Amino acid sequence: MNTEKYHSLIKAALAEDIGDGDHSSNCAFPKGIEGRMKLLVKEQGVLAGVAVAREVFKLVDPLIKMEILIEDGSRIKPGDLAFHLEGPAHSLLQGERLALNLMQRMSGIATKTRALVDTISHTHARLLDTRKTTPHLRVFEKEAVRWGGGYNHRFGLFDMIMLKDNHIDFAGGVPQAIQKALDYKAEHGLDIPIEVEVRDFKELDQVLESKGVLRVMFDNFSIEDTYRAVERVANAIETESSGGITGQTLVAYAETGVDFISMGALTHSVSGLDMSLKAELA
Protein backbone atom coordinates (compact mmCIF):
# COMPACT_ATOMS: atom_id res chain seq x y z
CA MET A 1 0.00 0.00 0.00
CA ASN A 2 1.37 3.40 -1.03
CA THR A 3 0.61 5.15 2.28
CA GLU A 4 2.30 8.42 1.30
CA LYS A 5 0.24 8.66 -1.89
CA TYR A 6 -2.90 7.78 0.05
CA HIS A 7 -2.30 10.50 2.61
CA SER A 8 -2.07 13.37 0.12
CA LEU A 9 -5.29 12.27 -1.60
CA ILE A 10 -7.13 11.65 1.66
CA LYS A 11 -6.11 15.02 3.09
CA ALA A 12 -7.41 16.79 -0.02
CA ALA A 13 -10.68 14.86 0.11
CA LEU A 14 -11.17 15.62 3.80
CA ALA A 15 -10.54 19.31 3.21
CA GLU A 16 -13.11 19.27 0.40
CA ASP A 17 -15.73 17.66 2.64
CA ILE A 18 -15.14 19.38 5.98
CA GLY A 19 -14.41 22.90 4.76
CA ASP A 20 -14.63 25.33 7.69
CA GLY A 21 -16.24 22.77 9.96
CA ASP A 22 -18.75 19.93 10.39
CA HIS A 23 -21.58 22.21 11.46
CA SER A 24 -24.11 19.35 11.69
CA SER A 25 -22.09 17.57 14.37
CA ASN A 26 -21.01 20.80 16.03
CA CYS A 27 -24.61 21.84 16.66
CA ALA A 28 -25.97 18.40 17.56
CA PHE A 29 -23.72 17.47 20.49
CA PRO A 30 -20.71 18.88 22.33
CA LYS A 31 -17.14 17.96 21.50
CA GLY A 32 -15.47 15.43 23.73
CA ILE A 33 -18.21 12.81 23.53
CA GLU A 34 -16.86 9.33 22.80
CA GLY A 35 -18.64 7.09 20.32
CA ARG A 36 -18.55 3.72 18.57
CA MET A 37 -19.44 2.83 14.99
CA LYS A 38 -19.57 -0.34 12.92
CA LEU A 39 -19.16 -0.97 9.20
CA LEU A 40 -22.22 -2.97 8.14
CA VAL A 41 -22.16 -4.90 4.86
CA LYS A 42 -25.48 -4.81 3.01
CA GLU A 43 -24.61 -6.54 -0.26
CA GLN A 44 -22.74 -9.68 -1.27
CA GLY A 45 -19.34 -9.19 -2.85
CA VAL A 46 -15.63 -8.77 -2.19
CA LEU A 47 -14.42 -6.34 0.46
CA ALA A 48 -11.82 -3.72 -0.46
CA GLY A 49 -10.72 -0.49 1.19
CA VAL A 50 -10.41 -1.47 4.86
CA ALA A 51 -6.77 -0.39 4.90
CA VAL A 52 -7.75 2.86 3.20
CA ALA A 53 -10.50 3.52 5.76
CA ARG A 54 -7.95 2.96 8.53
CA GLU A 55 -5.75 5.68 7.04
CA VAL A 56 -8.74 8.02 6.67
CA PHE A 57 -9.63 7.80 10.36
CA LYS A 58 -5.98 7.93 11.42
CA LEU A 59 -5.59 11.23 9.59
CA VAL A 60 -8.86 12.61 10.94
CA ASP A 61 -7.92 11.82 14.53
CA PRO A 62 -5.11 9.59 15.86
CA LEU A 63 -7.30 8.89 18.92
CA ILE A 64 -9.69 6.79 16.82
CA LYS A 65 -9.20 3.05 17.31
CA MET A 66 -10.19 0.48 14.69
CA GLU A 67 -10.86 -3.21 15.28
CA ILE A 68 -10.75 -4.99 11.92
CA LEU A 69 -12.97 -8.06 11.68
CA ILE A 70 -12.76 -8.78 7.92
CA GLU A 71 -9.67 -8.17 5.81
CA ASP A 72 -9.45 -6.73 2.31
CA GLY A 73 -10.04 -9.31 -0.43
CA SER A 74 -12.47 -11.37 1.64
CA ARG A 75 -15.85 -12.45 0.31
CA ILE A 76 -18.66 -10.77 2.23
CA LYS A 77 -22.44 -11.06 2.58
CA PRO A 78 -25.25 -8.90 3.96
CA GLY A 79 -25.08 -8.61 7.74
CA ASP A 80 -21.31 -8.99 8.00
CA LEU A 81 -19.44 -6.48 10.15
CA ALA A 82 -16.13 -5.41 8.61
CA PHE A 83 -14.78 -3.36 11.52
CA HIS A 84 -15.58 -1.41 14.68
CA LEU A 85 -14.46 2.16 15.37
CA GLU A 86 -14.12 3.90 18.73
CA GLY A 87 -13.11 7.48 19.46
CA PRO A 88 -14.31 11.08 19.61
CA ALA A 89 -17.79 11.16 18.01
CA HIS A 90 -17.09 14.37 16.09
CA SER A 91 -14.00 12.80 14.54
CA LEU A 92 -15.82 9.60 13.63
CA LEU A 93 -18.44 11.54 11.71
CA GLN A 94 -15.86 13.69 9.92
CA GLY A 95 -14.28 10.58 8.39
CA GLU A 96 -17.50 8.60 7.88
CA ARG A 97 -18.49 9.68 4.37
CA LEU A 98 -15.02 9.65 2.84
CA ALA A 99 -14.27 6.19 4.23
CA LEU A 100 -17.61 4.90 2.96
CA ASN A 101 -17.28 6.47 -0.49
CA LEU A 102 -13.86 4.92 -1.01
CA MET A 103 -14.80 1.53 0.39
CA GLN A 104 -18.01 1.28 -1.61
CA ARG A 105 -16.20 2.20 -4.82
CA MET A 106 -13.27 -0.11 -4.16
CA SER A 107 -15.48 -3.02 -3.09
CA GLY A 108 -17.58 -2.63 -6.24
CA ILE A 109 -14.45 -2.85 -8.38
CA ALA A 110 -13.07 -5.81 -6.42
CA THR A 111 -16.40 -7.62 -6.67
CA LYS A 112 -16.68 -7.19 -10.43
CA THR A 113 -13.04 -8.13 -10.94
CA ARG A 114 -13.32 -11.30 -8.85
CA ALA A 115 -16.43 -12.43 -10.73
CA LEU A 116 -14.65 -12.05 -14.07
CA VAL A 117 -11.38 -13.58 -12.87
CA ASP A 118 -13.26 -16.64 -11.64
CA THR A 119 -14.73 -17.23 -15.10
CA ILE A 120 -11.27 -17.52 -16.69
CA SER A 121 -9.50 -19.36 -13.88
CA HIS A 122 -9.21 -22.48 -16.08
CA THR A 123 -6.94 -20.54 -18.48
CA HIS A 124 -3.56 -18.89 -17.99
CA ALA A 125 -4.85 -15.47 -19.07
CA ARG A 126 -4.49 -12.67 -16.54
CA LEU A 127 -7.07 -9.90 -16.31
CA LEU A 128 -5.71 -6.34 -16.44
CA ASP A 129 -7.15 -2.95 -15.63
CA THR A 130 -6.51 0.16 -17.78
CA ARG A 131 -6.04 3.92 -17.36
CA LYS A 132 -9.82 4.39 -17.61
CA THR A 133 -10.05 5.40 -13.99
CA THR A 134 -11.56 8.25 -11.98
CA PRO A 135 -9.17 11.24 -11.86
CA HIS A 136 -7.25 11.32 -8.55
CA LEU A 137 -8.72 7.94 -7.50
CA ARG A 138 -6.54 5.73 -9.69
CA VAL A 139 -4.35 4.51 -6.81
CA PHE A 140 -7.44 3.29 -4.93
CA GLU A 141 -9.17 1.80 -7.96
CA LYS A 142 -6.13 -0.10 -9.15
CA GLU A 143 -5.56 -1.50 -5.67
CA ALA A 144 -9.18 -2.68 -5.65
CA VAL A 145 -8.53 -4.58 -8.88
CA ARG A 146 -5.72 -6.44 -7.13
CA TRP A 147 -7.96 -7.29 -4.17
CA GLY A 148 -10.38 -8.76 -6.72
CA GLY A 149 -7.70 -11.03 -8.15
CA GLY A 150 -6.85 -8.94 -11.21
CA TYR A 151 -3.56 -7.37 -12.22
CA ASN A 152 -2.50 -3.79 -12.85
CA HIS A 153 -1.47 -2.60 -16.29
CA ARG A 154 0.75 0.49 -16.39
CA PHE A 155 -0.16 3.02 -13.72
CA GLY A 156 0.21 6.03 -15.99
CA LEU A 157 2.03 7.43 -18.99
CA PHE A 158 5.38 7.29 -17.21
CA ASP A 159 5.97 3.63 -16.36
CA MET A 160 5.62 1.99 -19.79
CA ILE A 161 6.00 2.98 -23.43
CA MET A 162 2.74 1.93 -25.02
CA LEU A 163 2.65 2.62 -28.75
CA LYS A 164 -0.99 2.85 -29.75
CA ASP A 165 -2.55 3.56 -33.13
CA ASN A 166 -2.11 7.33 -32.94
CA HIS A 167 1.54 7.05 -31.89
CA ILE A 168 2.18 4.65 -34.76
CA ASP A 169 0.42 6.83 -37.33
CA PHE A 170 2.26 9.99 -36.23
CA ALA A 171 5.58 8.12 -36.22
CA GLY A 172 5.07 6.82 -39.77
CA GLY A 173 4.45 3.14 -39.02
CA VAL A 174 5.15 0.33 -36.58
CA PRO A 175 8.90 -0.15 -37.30
CA GLN A 176 9.53 3.58 -37.09
CA ALA A 177 7.60 3.92 -33.83
CA ILE A 178 9.50 1.03 -32.23
CA GLN A 179 12.89 2.39 -33.29
CA LYS A 180 12.02 5.86 -32.01
CA ALA A 181 10.99 4.29 -28.68
CA LEU A 182 14.28 2.39 -28.41
CA ASP A 183 16.28 5.51 -29.25
CA TYR A 184 14.29 7.53 -26.70
CA LYS A 185 14.92 4.94 -23.95
CA ALA A 186 18.64 4.95 -24.68
CA GLU A 187 18.85 8.74 -24.80
CA HIS A 188 17.03 9.20 -21.49
CA GLY A 189 18.41 6.15 -19.67
CA LEU A 190 14.96 4.65 -19.20
CA ASP A 191 14.43 1.05 -18.14
CA ILE A 192 10.73 0.67 -18.90
CA PRO A 193 9.00 -1.92 -21.12
CA ILE A 194 7.61 -1.32 -24.59
CA GLU A 195 4.19 -2.54 -25.66
CA VAL A 196 2.84 -2.11 -29.19
CA GLU A 197 -0.80 -2.13 -30.22
CA VAL A 198 -1.50 -3.71 -33.60
CA ARG A 199 -4.59 -3.48 -35.76
CA ASP A 200 -3.93 -6.25 -38.25
CA PHE A 201 -1.56 -9.09 -39.11
CA LYS A 202 0.72 -6.87 -41.20
CA GLU A 203 1.45 -4.74 -38.13
CA LEU A 204 1.81 -7.88 -36.00
CA ASP A 205 4.47 -9.23 -38.37
CA GLN A 206 6.29 -5.89 -38.19
CA VAL A 207 6.38 -6.14 -34.39
CA LEU A 208 7.70 -9.70 -34.54
CA GLU A 209 10.42 -8.58 -36.95
CA SER A 210 11.54 -5.90 -34.50
CA LYS A 211 13.58 -6.17 -31.32
CA GLY A 212 13.01 -4.66 -27.90
CA VAL A 213 9.24 -5.16 -27.58
CA LEU A 214 7.95 -6.89 -24.45
CA ARG A 215 4.29 -7.26 -25.39
CA VAL A 216 1.98 -6.94 -28.36
CA MET A 217 -1.65 -5.91 -27.96
CA PHE A 218 -4.27 -7.23 -30.36
CA ASP A 219 -6.63 -4.30 -30.71
CA ASN A 220 -10.23 -5.25 -31.48
CA PHE A 221 -9.22 -8.60 -32.99
CA SER A 222 -12.02 -11.13 -33.40
CA ILE A 223 -11.80 -14.33 -31.38
CA GLU A 224 -10.86 -16.27 -34.53
CA ASP A 225 -8.12 -13.78 -35.42
CA THR A 226 -6.85 -13.84 -31.84
CA TYR A 227 -6.33 -17.61 -32.09
CA ARG A 228 -4.33 -17.03 -35.30
CA ALA A 229 -2.35 -14.16 -33.76
CA VAL A 230 -1.40 -16.13 -30.65
CA GLU A 231 -0.26 -19.00 -32.85
CA ARG A 232 1.80 -16.64 -35.00
CA VAL A 233 3.51 -15.08 -31.99
CA ALA A 234 4.37 -18.56 -30.69
CA ASN A 235 5.48 -17.26 -27.26
CA ALA A 236 8.14 -15.02 -28.79
CA ILE A 237 6.77 -12.08 -26.78
CA GLU A 238 3.86 -11.50 -24.40
CA THR A 239 0.39 -11.13 -25.88
CA GLU A 240 -2.60 -9.05 -24.81
CA SER A 241 -6.17 -8.71 -26.07
CA SER A 242 -8.08 -5.46 -25.70
CA GLY A 243 -10.98 -3.56 -27.17
CA GLY A 244 -14.67 -4.37 -26.93
CA ILE A 245 -14.23 -7.42 -24.69
CA THR A 246 -17.23 -7.97 -22.43
CA GLY A 247 -18.24 -10.40 -19.72
CA GLN A 248 -19.98 -12.42 -22.42
CA THR A 249 -16.88 -12.78 -24.62
CA LEU A 250 -14.15 -12.80 -21.96
CA VAL A 251 -13.95 -16.59 -21.60
CA ALA A 252 -13.69 -17.14 -25.35
CA TYR A 253 -10.81 -14.66 -25.60
CA ALA A 254 -9.04 -16.21 -22.60
CA GLU A 255 -9.29 -19.64 -24.19
CA THR A 256 -7.34 -18.44 -27.25
CA GLY A 257 -4.16 -18.72 -25.19
CA VAL A 258 -3.52 -14.99 -24.93
CA ASP A 259 -1.43 -13.99 -21.90
CA PHE A 260 -3.31 -10.88 -20.80
CA ILE A 261 -6.75 -9.36 -21.32
CA SER A 262 -7.34 -5.70 -20.45
CA MET A 263 -10.80 -4.36 -19.68
CA GLY A 264 -11.59 -0.73 -18.96
CA ALA A 265 -14.96 -1.82 -17.58
CA LEU A 266 -13.25 -3.03 -14.39
CA THR A 267 -13.02 0.59 -13.26
CA HIS A 268 -14.99 2.92 -15.53
CA SER A 269 -18.51 1.51 -15.16
CA VAL A 270 -18.81 -0.10 -11.75
CA SER A 271 -21.52 0.39 -9.13
CA GLY A 272 -20.44 0.77 -5.51
CA LEU A 273 -21.16 -2.05 -3.09
CA ASP A 274 -23.85 -1.23 -0.54
CA MET A 275 -22.59 -0.77 3.02
CA SER A 276 -23.03 1.72 5.86
CA LEU A 277 -21.30 3.08 8.96
CA LYS A 278 -23.71 3.03 11.88
CA ALA A 279 -23.40 4.34 15.41
CA GLU A 280 -23.27 1.63 18.05
CA LEU A 281 -25.37 2.69 21.01
CA ALA A 282 -24.92 1.29 24.51
What is the rounded distance in angstroms from the CA atom of residue 57 to the CA atom of residue 64? 7
Point out the catalytic residue in the list 129, 197, 240, 259. 197
What is the CB neighbour count within 10 angstroms for residue 12? 11
Give the CA count within 13 Å in the CB-facing half-sphere of 52: 32
What is the rounded distance in angstroms from the CA atom of residue 233 to the CA atom of residue 222? 16
Tell me, yes or no, if 129 is annotated catalytic: no
What is the CB neighbour count within 10 angstroms for residue 30? 9
Point out the catalytic residue in the list 58, 131, 132, 232. 132
Tell me, yes or no, if 224 is annotated catalytic: no
Tell me, yes or no, if 97 is annotated catalytic: yes
DSSP state letters, 185-247: HHHHT----EEEEESSHHHHHHHHTSSS--EEEEES--HHHHHHHHHHHTTSSEEEEESS--T
Point out the catalytic residue in the list 36, 38, 58, 97. 97
Point out the catalytic residue in the list 96, 219, 240, 259. 219
Tell me, yes or no, if 191 is annotated catalytic: no
Tell me, yes or no, if 65 is annotated catalytic: no
Point out the catalytic residue in the list 126, 154, 164, 232. 164
Local structure of residue 282 (DSSP, 8 states): -
Where is 174: in which H helix or E strand?
helix 174-188
Sequence-ordered list of residues with C-beta below 8 angstroms from that of 109, at least 6 positions apart, any chain: 48, 141, 144, 145, 148, 266, 267, 270
What is the rounded distance in angstroms from the CA atom of residue 6 to the CA atom of residue 117? 26
Report whether 35 contacts 92 (CB < 8 A): yes
Closest CA to 106 of 80, 76, 85, 84: 76
Q: Provide the annotated active-site residues.
A: 97, 132, 164, 197, 219
